[in-house]
């Protein structure tokens, strides 16, 4: 599907990198980007977000490129989206809707599909009027008499009923997870969850540690469904390791709420391995974004070890760093090349035994 991407530069020094991330989202959804427009604004225009001049520029580019859809790298209000679609005569998909679309594309498990559908319905509920704009031009006719508000009200009731059903089903799944978690607790298995920014390499590390075949790819949101495996680690015994959905900048709140059942594995873990793309220029901001989501879901107090992955991109050796108490705080690895996996196992084992040895290698890593 051919797409035009409209980006809004509000003066952020990270705008170029954030725009690259949005382009990755667009391509991950199957879009062929045939044109791009950047609008610089101090504040959004109330009607169209980008202002009338940029709308005219976008309209000309849409027609010239014969684009099928316009992708907008910011969340739009229902009114802004409706106004843009009228002026551009194309479907407009904002950042939230694009992420929801990718989630719908990637969800494989029954639970994942339920969660995506719930999030989509919650997003749709605020935008129902947009769906019926084509009826506003109709003046009577068989089957077209008085469709407006009565039809909208019917849709709202139907969506409300569907949301209640989905929440009941997800509650049931959540109760099943609690039962499974209690069973693991009775088996005295320590629970470890992989968390981190999307595309940081969590699934690659999960596969390397468990010898599993969870889907891993160089794309955003390659993993949506939590996968759990039991593995044996020397000096730690049997543990359960879970691979969870990746986080992203400005993750829609509807998605955080809808995917809470999946993230329960992180909320109730004994230890979080926070996987970071060491080669990313935005690694510090990505760490901050993940910490904000962990706080929002109630997992900020769980012990963490930072796993700096993809060091092969920086030509750095695998190693560990310890804090002032001698506890392993950071591990530097390449999951793709399986370098440093023994250090990850060592970190888990030391945590399991509550032992931090004296630092022998605690100088600060200098990134190139």
The per-residue pLDDT for range 80-106, each reduced to its tens digit, is 999 999 999 999 999 988 888 887 777
Residue 357's pLDDT is 41
Which superfamily, per CATH, for 2-93? GTPase HflX, N-terminal domain (3.40.50.11060)
129 compared with 340, residue with greater pLDDT: 340
Query: pLDDT tens across 272-298, in order?
Result: 999 999 999 889 999 998 998 888 888
What's the pLDDT score for residue 139?
A: 42
User: At 262, is the pLDDT very low, low, confident or very high (cuts 50, 70, 90)?
Assistant: low
Q: Name the nearest CA neighbour of 344 among 209, 215, 191, 196.
A: 209
pLDDT at residue 183 in the model: 67
Q: Over the chain, what is the mean pLDDT?
A: 81
pLDDT reported for residue 309: 97
Helices assigned H by DSSP within the chain: 15-28, 52-65, 78-88, 95-106, 110-125, 128-131, 148-186, 202-210, 253-258, 260-267, 283-296, 341-352
| DSSP collapsed to 3 states, 280-295 | CCCHHHHHHHHHHHHH
pTM: 0.74
Domain definitions of the chain by residue range? 2-93, 188-352
Q: What is the mean pLDDT of residues 302-323?
A: 96
Hey, which of 114-118, 153-157, 315-319 has the most confident mean pLDDT?
315-319
Predicted pLDDT at 147: 46
Whether residue 326 contacts residue 361, with contact meaning beta carbons closer than 8 Å, is answered with no
Mean pLDDT (whole number) for 344-351: 96
- C-beta pairs of 153-158 under 8 Å, 24+ apart in sequence: 155/128, 155/131, 156/125, 156/128
Domain 188-352 sits in which CATH superfamily?
Answer: P-loop containing nucleotide triphosphate hydrolases (3.40.50.300)
Q: Is the dihedral of CA 16, 18, 21, 26 positive or negative?
A: negative
Mean pLDDT computed over 344-356: 87
**Predicted pLDDT of residue 34:** 95
Question: Does residue 360 surpass a pLDDT of 50?
Answer: no
pLDDT of 169 > 90? The answer is no
Residue 66 pLDDT > 80: yes
The number of beta carbons lying within 10 Å of the beta carbon of residue 265 is 26
Task: Give pLDDT, residue 267.
Answer: 77
Domain 2-93 shares a fold with domain 188-352:
yes
pLDDT value at 141 more than 50: no
pLDDT at 359: 36
């Amino acid at each position: 599907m051919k797409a035009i991407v409209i980006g809004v530069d509000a003066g952020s020094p990270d705008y170029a990198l954030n725009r690259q991330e949005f382009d990755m989202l667009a391509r991950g959804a199957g879009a062929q980007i045939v044109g791009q427009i950047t609008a610089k604004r101090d504040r959004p225009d109330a009607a169209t977000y980008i202002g009338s001049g940029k709308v005219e520029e976008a309209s000309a580019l849409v027609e010239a490129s014969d684009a099928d859809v316009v992708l907008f790298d910011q969340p739009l209000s229902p009114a802004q989206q409706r106004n843009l679609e009228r002026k551009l005569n194309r479907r407009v998909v904002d950042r939230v809707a694009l992420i929801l679309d990718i989630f719908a594309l990637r969800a494989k498990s029954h639970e994942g599909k339920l969660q995506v559908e719930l999030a989509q319905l919650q997003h749709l509920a605020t935008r129902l009027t947009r769906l019926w704009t084509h009826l506003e031009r109709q003046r009577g006719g068989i089957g077209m008499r008085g469709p407006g508000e009565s039809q909208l009200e019917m849709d709202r009731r139907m969506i409300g009923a569907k949301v209640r059903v989905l929440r009941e089903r997800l509650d049931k799944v959540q109760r099943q997870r609690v039962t499974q978690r209690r069973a693991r607790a009775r088996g005295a298995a320590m629970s470890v969850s992989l968390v981190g920014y999307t595309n940081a390499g969590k699934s690659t590390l999960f596969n390397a540690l468990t010898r599993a075949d969870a889907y891993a790819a160089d794309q955003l949101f390659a993993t949506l469904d939590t996968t759990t495996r039991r593995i044996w680690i020397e000096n730690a015994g049997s543990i359960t390791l879970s691979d969870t959905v990746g986080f992203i900048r400005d993750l829609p709140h509807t998605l955080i709420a809808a995917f809470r059942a999946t993230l329960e594995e992180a909320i109730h873990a004994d230890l979080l391995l926070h996987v970071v793309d060491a080669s990313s220029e935005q690694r510090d901001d990505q760490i901050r974004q993940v910490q904000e989501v962990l706080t929002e879901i109630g997992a900020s107090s769980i012990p963490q070890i930072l796993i700096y992955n993809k060091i092969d991109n920086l030509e750095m050796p695998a190693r560990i760093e310890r804090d002032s108490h001698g506890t392993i705080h950071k591990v530097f690895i390449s999951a793709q090349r399986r370098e440093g996996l023994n250090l990850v196992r060592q970190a888990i084992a030391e945590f399991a035994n509550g032992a931090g040895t004296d630092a022998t290698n605690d100088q600060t890593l200098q990134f190139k």
